[in-house]
Amino acid sequence: MNRREFMTWIGVGALATSLPVAIAACQSDTAEAPSTTPAEPAAARDDGFAAIGTVAELDQAGFLASSNFQGTQVIVARDPANADAVIAVDSLCTHQGCTVDWEGGAFACPCHGSSFNPDGTVAAGPASSPLPVYEAKIEDDQVLVKV
Ligand code: FES
């Protein structure tokens, strides 16, 4: 095999290797990530509670979250101390405003490692202030929060 034949085989090999990647990149992404935020925020009832999602959605995702729930940002999870109850807090970390996640029975901030207990109090800094807590409950198949 001379140099020209060798280079031709290298080119064919590179094309064959990259073709599936190029085809995949050109395909539209038909699978959408599940959303934990309702498309339209529910209006608050007379008692101030509004639905943030269903119990099925809560149990499937492990939490419910919205960046615009009644004009604020909320994350809801089942209370680790009482599986029939839910807890809701403002999801903006009190350190520098990143959005906290629900991980392993606590609210965790991905930015600098703060974590918050289910009642919103600080478990680990650098945050020093608790997360604001909202009233939350389950009625029928709905998870309701009052902000
Ligand atoms: S913004 Fe959450 S720990 Fe810094």
Domains in the chain, CATH or no CATH each: 49-146 (2.102.10.10)
Q: Does 110 sit in the ligand 1 pocket, CB within 6 Å?
A: no
Nearest CA to ligand 1 atom 3: 112
Residue 94 Cα to ligand 1 midpoint, Å, equals: 7
SS (H, E, C) 54-123: EHHHHHHHCCEEEEEECCEEEEEEEECCEEEEEEEEECECCCCCCECEEECCEEECCCCCCEECCCCCEE
> Could you list the pLDDT tens digit for every one of the 147 residues in the chain?
655 564 555 554 444 444 444 434 434 333 333 345 544 567 888 888 999 999 999 999 999 999 999 889 999 999 999 989 999 999 999 999 999 999 999 999 999 999 999 999 999 989 999 999 999 999 999 999 999
